[in-house]
Amino acid sequence: RFREERQLLARLDHPHIARLLDAGLSEFGQPYLVMEWVDGVPLDVWRRQTQPSRDRMLDLWLDVAGAVAYAHRLLVVHRDLKPSNVLVTADGTAKLVDFGIGKRLDQTDTGTRTQHFTPLYASPEQLTGAAVSTSTDVFGLGLLLAELVSGAPPFGAPGLAPHEQARAVLEDPPSVGAGVPADLAAILLVALRREPERRYATVDQFADDVR
């Protein structure tokens, strides 16, 4: 997994993705990664602390979506998009981190990493063991945006047990918040469809509608 994450990160050079600076083995044979230091807070903490306007939240999300779309063009799927994996610095710059369960689309997935995700922020196909694709990140970006603009996850709640979180994602209708404008809510409902083929075909299409 360490070697695979290093290979993924080595392909990525984007202003909104934390950069890989070095990697190797210590004198004791322990693998290590040296990452860009991001002096920031998780996305949900940033929202609570700064109380940004909706336009500011959408601008920040578009930066994250741009980073994910860039990764997709290099055939890399993140697979773990959640607030704690988006850090926001004091000057308002978003940085996407942790490609630990990322996947290269041009390589066969061994399946050894698929259990290391948070059910509340997982796609239906991850929870059921179905094929993962760029559409998985479209769903993840939908989860991020829904929580960003409404203040709460669209499925379940953080306090639920993992199996209850998984059931909510697989069975409950998404809740995008009463205060979310109808056009934005409609966009989110497309991104959060359970069937991958019925979501936005690409992150760029999703971002264009948000923009």
- Three state DSSP letters for the chain: CHHHHHHHHHCCCCCCECCEEEEEECCCCCEEEEECCCCEEEHHHHHHHHCCCHHHHHHHHHHHHHHHHHHHHCCEECCCCCHHHEEEECCCCEEECCCCCCEECCCCCCCCCCCCCCHHHCCHHHHHCCCCCHHHHHHHHHHHHHHHHHCCCCCCCCCCCHHHHHHHHHHCCCCCCCCCCHHHHHHHHHHCCCCHHHCCCCHHHHHHHHC
Identified catalytic residue from 22, 39, 44, 80:
80
> Cβ(106)–Cβ(75) under 8 Å?
yes
10 Å CB burial of residue 33 (0-12, 13-18, 19+) is middle
Q: Is 80 one of the annotated active-site residues of the chain?
A: yes
| Tokens 């999703």, located at residue | 206
| Tokens 């990525």, located at residue | 12
Indicate the residue type of 122: A
Residues identified as active-site: 80
